[in-house]
Structure formats: structure tokens, C-alpha cells
Structure 1
Amino acid sequence: MPLNLVKLCVGCDSVEDLEEWISFRLDERRRVGDPVEYFHTTRMVPTRGAEIIEGGSLYWVVKGKVQCRQRVTEIRPFVDGQGIGRCHIMLDPQVLRTEWQPRRAFQGWRYLTPADAPSDLGHGRVGWAELPAELRQELAQLGLL
């Protein structure tokens, strides 16, 4: 059974912000002739990487709630120019929206079992993702989502 990661999406106020960032980064890589792939760089290498790349995802916490995920395709450890070990978590650029799940702030990333992961949006809530981010946020603060 695949294992997932959960991480704070720092600097993004909405899933749309994350999607725009991903698009910008891919366009930038295309423009300079680098391989067109998307990754998140982290200091720590997941010790359970084999379980993660067997179908796991990186779930993003946006504004205190897990709101979306990206499938993890590969984990690439490397040493940066200063001799510090780091890791590229290679991600499918497609962002899949999930049911919202509250999360307190934490540093780094955490493992997330499939049983604890929020479901992808659907099952009667398809139009919910189409609401403007501000409206979704306000409805969530009122406890209606």
C-alpha cells in the first residue's frame, strides 16, 4: 500500500496560487532548456521512499487545511553546492483537489497513511472546486465545508 507525504504549502494562499506557481516553474524550465519536470526540494530524504513512489502523493496544506495533492513520481537525493544533502521530490505537475482536512502547522513534511489521507473531490461535491477560493475559505471558516 503506498505511503503519502503531507507538507505545508508556504507562500500560497490558494490551490490556484499553487497551480500558477507550478505553471510558472515549468515554463521557466522550458525557456532555459532544462528538462520540463516539477519537483519540491527538501532537506531530509524520506527513509520510506520506496513506499512513497509506489503510488503515493504529496498532500499540500494550504491555509491550515489539506486541500490538494500531487502524485510523487520519484525521490532524488543529491548534495548541493555547499555540500549539504538534499532531496528533490519529483511530482506530477497535475494538482488534484481533495476534501479539506484541518492541519496544524508543522515543520518539514510528515508521512500520511492512505487511511488518514483525505479523499479526492467528487462524490456529489464536484462543483465545490469551481467556487472562487475566497468563497471556499469563507464557507470553511463558517464550518459549512
Structure 2
Amino acid sequence: MTKQNQVNLIKLSVGSESVDSLIAWQASRRARGPDGLPRHITRMWPKREAEILNGGSIYWVVKGVLQCRQRILRLDEVIGRDGIRRCAIVLDPEVIRTQSSLRRPFQGWRYLPVKDAPPDLPKGRESEETLPVELNRALAEIGVL
């Protein structure tokens, strides 16, 4: 498969105040699977599984701003206590910061085509503070970001 046959996911990181709080959550035992890798459990199994597993990432929206991504390693079946089949999106533990991009709230996850994904921040800029949401929004409105 080629990059043409690759797609990403985008998801709100509900409850996260920052990328650092997302990283801290994923370090907790509750966010990790039996293999020790972070995972996100969702009700729906992605129909575009092959494209996701062809190098796709999950892009995290924190406080209304897309700020980082993680490579998706695999999709595991998880049966809940209620007997319902769910999808565990198993993630690479490395969180890669991206250029910020404002996003409106949405439910669940969405597909994010490669061409629409923000670029990673260059090496050495990963620890930069993100812009305040209001400033980020103003810059986006005038076409700077």
C-alpha cells in the first residue's frame, strides 16, 4: 500500500487540559492494555482499517486545538463486561506534537485524510507552549496559521 491508501483518525481528548495531561493519562495503568501500550477504546470498529494500519495516526484535539498525534499500531477486539464488542486503538507511546489547528467539537472519531493533517513540529520545537486558544483563533481567521 502507498500513502494514497493511508488515512488518519482525529479524536477529541476529552478531559485533557494539555498535551502533557494526555501523556500523563496514557501513562496510567487504566489507559494501557495488557501489553503495556496506551490504547483508546471506542464502540465503533473503523471500516477503513487497512488504510489506518498503513501508517496512520490518531490526531488529538485538546481544548479545541489539534495539537499532537500518535501512530496507530493495531486495532484489537475488546469485549466489555456488558458483552459488547469494542475496538481498542493501540497506540505508539510516543506523542508527536504538530502544528496547532483549531477544531470544532464533534463526537466520536473522524477520518482525517493525509492531505488535511497538520505537519509535525520540527525537531527542537516540540516542547514549545501552544498559543492561547483566543490568539490561535484570531491568527487562523486572518490566515496566518
Classify the TM-score, shorter chain: 0.7 to 0.9
The 1-side partners of 2:138 and 2:7 are apart by: 32
Gaps of 5+ in 2: none
CA 1:22–1:14 in 2, change beyond 3 Å: closer, same or farther? same
SS in 2 for 1:107: coil
Aligned to 1:15: 19
Q: Given that residues 19 and 67 in structure 2 are in contact (C-alpha distance below 8 angstroms), is that contact kept between their aligned partners in structure 1?
A: yes
Aligned to 1:111: 111
Q: How many residues align structurally?
A: 136
The 1-side partners of 2:50 and 2:132 are apart by: 35
Q: Deviations over 1:18-43 (max 9, x none)?
A: 111122338x869xxx4311110000
The 2-side partners of 1:23 and 1:85 are apart by: 25
CA 1:83–1:58 in 2, change beyond 3 Å: closer, same or farther? same
Letter in 2 for 1:20: A
The 2-side partners of 1:61 and 1:67 are apart by: 6
Aligned to 2:132: 137
Aligned to 1:64: 64
Q: Given that residues 71 and 92 in structure 2 are in contact (C-alpha distance below 8 angstroms), is that contact kept between their aligned partners in structure 1?
A: yes
Normalised to the residue count of structure 2, the TM-score between the two structures is 0.83
Letter in 1 for 2:29: R
Identity %: 46
Say which is worse superposed, 81-90 or 102-111, in terms of deviation.
81-90
Gaps of 5+ in 1: none
The 1-side partners of 2:98 and 2:35 are apart by: 28
The 1-side partners of 2:32 and 2:22 are apart by: 17
Q: Deviations over 1:72-108 (max 9, x none)?
A: 0001123212121211000001100001111110000
1:83 aligns with 2:104: no
Aligned to 2:10: 6
Letter in 1 for 2:101: Q
The 2-side partners of 1:82 and 1:50 are apart by: 28
> What do you get for the CA RMSD once the two structures are aligned?
2.3
Q: Deviations over 1:51-86 (max 9, x none)?
A: 101100000001111100000000112321212121
The 2-side partners of 1:102 and 1:137 are apart by: 11
Q: Deviations over 1:110-135 (max 9, x none)?
A: 00000000100118xx43x43345xx
